[in-house]
Amino acid sequence: MVWVNLVTLCALIEYFVFAALVGNARVRYGVKAPATSGNEVFERYFRVQQNTLELLIVFVPALWIAAQYWNPAWMASIGAVYVIGRIVYFRGYVGAPAARHNGFMLSIVPVALLLLAAAAGVAWALIPHS
């Protein structure tokens, strides 16, 4: 499970970095708290952080549940694609919002796969086997 721990830690650190970048963008573009709009570039940073949070609350439990039923190294590999996808998403969205598609797909597909793997594992465990 060490690989699952590592991927989870990377995803959490990544989110923390995104939050720090939002704070820096808030100062750089003069968007005073509690405002979340007012500068288009700031809003891109903010949306990356919020979208990452929206996925993170599904990603982490799905990763951990799936890793209980399937090979943890494989589940961690799928999770690593998510972490990389978030970086691609960040770079695309902040640079030009239309360029966020590839990063989004590299994020949402692993989450969906982990959810399916978790659900299949739980379903299989619920079936009585003689």
Residue 47: closest CA among 90, 5, 11, 108: 90
pLDDT in tens, 69-101: 999 999 999 999 999 999 999 999 999 999 999
Q: pLDDT band at 113, cuts 50/70/90? A: very high
- Predicted TM-score (pTM) of the model is 0.94
Architecture of domain 2-123: Up-down Bundle (1.20)
Ordered by start, the domain boundaries in the chain are 2-123
CB 24, CB 65: distance < 8 Å:
no
